[in-house]
Structure 1
Amino acid sequence: MSQATSQELLRSFNISEDDLQKMVADAVFFLLTADQKKSIISKAALVKACDLSKRDRKLQDYVIKCGAQHLSNTFGIELRDLGKSTFILVNKLSENDVNEFLQWDDKEAAQMGLTFTILGLILMHNDKVTEENLFDFVKGMGVYDDDKRSNVDSEVLDMFDGDMRRFVNETLVSKQHYLRKERNVHIEDSEQFEYSWGERADAEIKQSLVFKMICEVFGCDPKMFKEQYERIKEKENLTDEEFANGV
């Protein structure tokens, strides 16, 4: 944006350059703070935090746009519009980014490791997994037990705030949106639920990355899982060569 255009906007909003910079700085601070919780961000909460509630809607949108540009240029973070005046902050993960997990503390590493594992489980079950299958799976990993006399180590439980079901349903589904939980509509009069990839997972994580990590665990060629391989390749519009090279 040219200097003349910028000054014209400031006059139309009846604010100074210092006023604008403070609003943008407040927006960036609010967004970065919200991202620590990996929560969905509402426009209403954002404009309130930046003292923009009574300002012109065009000014609100301009401050958010400037804040988004600053996040992208300075931190490499994308402000993704989810519609209905909601946003998430997205860090695009590449194969090399997986190594960044090693810089997290033990609790963060455990939680993200489990999240990736659950996403992989969903991926291998054709993008949906039942609630029963998901918790049977984590039970088999030794990090969950539905028995009140749980045999899971207390230190492991602490990694997930003492309650695996609550961690999955409140943290991964309701707060962070890595998972989506929906009632199985194919079974009438049923309270059976299914999990799939949530908005944040779709925005941040390539299915091909998770799929290749699974194949590395099993020590096999991705093409051995032909159905998943073809589905992911089509979804991400990849050739065999691009898939292999992680493009």
Structure 2
Amino acid sequence: MPRGQKSKLRAREKRRQARAKNALEEEGSPDPLCECPHQAVPDAGMSTPPNIQQGAHYTFSHTYENTGAQNQDEKNSDDSDDLEAWSKDPINHKVVLLVQFLMEKYHKKEVFTKADMLKCVLKTSKTAFTEILKRATEHMELAFGVDLKEVDPIRHCYALFNKLEHTFDAVKGDEKMPNTGLLMMVLGVIFKKNNCASEKEVWEVLNMMGVHANRKHFIYGEPKKVITEDLVKLKYLEYRKVPNSNPPSFEFTWGSRAQAEISKMKILEFWAKIHDATPDTFVPLYEIAVKDEEERAQARSAARARTAAMASSHSKAMVSSSSHAK
């Protein structure tokens, strides 16, 4: 990663730590016990948070701008710096508690209130809670592809929804949390690579996210099995041998189910979130995504028109049959 970009990230992290420190100074002494049932979720689920939260922001930017791979020493140094910065942030311990609480609620498919979340992060000022909720929500979205939404504004009730609303629990392995985040990352790489990405290109990006082919991941389990077998069986990904390649090499494309159920704009919005940017930041991809949205809207409109025509024809046939019977 260029030194200028790393300096900006360090400066941004320092500003965030300062805000967190000021927010926590507004709090009173914390309660000795947390009423949140977070113990039901293994602590290992948050063992390396920078890979998903802080690291995610620069990883996709680094890849998109084609700045080249880092050497191993520099990468290890960056990972160490990220972990040190993360551990020094006074708010992150409470972010962990809230994420574990949200994971528990998602698994049980329970609705919960703002008061429930406040209990989970102990005695917290309004300013600090806003920042804690923001970071926890971001983690759920980027790591798991799960959105936190307010479902009852009057009673301040919340629920968690998989970004792939058509398949709320389908993109899920043996773990408690869905693999939607991993799928959306892979689909994003494919989209960026003109709808076909080599296996090497996919793993280059995932490796920078802390996801490796032959290493069990604390969130995604066995990532290689997930993307080359599980998501292929579900028809979200196609994984095929490159013709005439020697030694054999493989590539990924969007599967038929992904093409039918997931818009390019949804993937670009997810990608932009990782960048801490807006979708139109990526001009060529944004133009393609907008065109895809228009085509999908036209297809839906045509489908509705066909359905209406069939219903009208059926109704007329029924009326005609009834009049002949008389």
Q: Shorter-chain-normalised TM-score: which range?
A: 0.3 to 0.5
Larger radius of gyration: 2
TM norm structure 2 = 0.35
